[in-house]
């Protein structure tokens, strides 16, 4: 086999590996809320508000949010593969406290 062909095959394998490596890690964030009041009227509206105004990631979906699991003083909402954890404040309103998205 001429050296040129072997090098070309190796380059294809390396490029394929490099393209997949960013997908291996998920993303997470957590916020320290200053107040436990003054949020939104429901977990879903809190997620929608946060998607537009939160400033953590630019790719948080603005629509399609729905409750997952059992609602309580904290609950999870999901849109696509993104999950946000939402906390109910002392005044009964909701705020996003953390979130995560899988790598791939």
Q: pLDDT tens for the chain, 104 residues: list them.
A: 444 333 333 333 222 233 334 555 788 988 888 788 899 999 999 999 999 998 888 889 999 999 997 878 999 999 999 999 999 999 999 999 999 998 76
Beta carbons of 76 and 85 less than 8 angstroms apart: yes
C-alpha of 87 from chain center: 16
Beta carbons of 95 and 89 less than 8 angstroms apart: yes
Please give the DSSP secondary-structure letter assigned to residue 72: S
What pTM was estimated for this model as a whole?
0.72
Beta carbons of 90 and 37 less than 8 angstroms apart: yes
């Amino acid at each position: 086999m001429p050296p040129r062909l072997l090098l070309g095959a190796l380059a294809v394998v390396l490029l394929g590996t490099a393209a997949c490596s960013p997908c291996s890690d998920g993303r997470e964030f957590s916020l320290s809320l200053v107040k436990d009041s003054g949020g939104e009227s429901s977990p879903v509206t809190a997620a929608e508000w946060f998607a537009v105004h939160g400033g953590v990631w630019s790719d948080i979906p603005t629509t399609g949010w729905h409750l997952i699991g059992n609602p309580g003083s904290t609950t999870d909402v999901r849109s696509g593969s993104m999950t946000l954890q939402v906390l109910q404040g002392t005044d009964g309103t909701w705020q996003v406290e953390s979130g995560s998205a899988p790598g791939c």
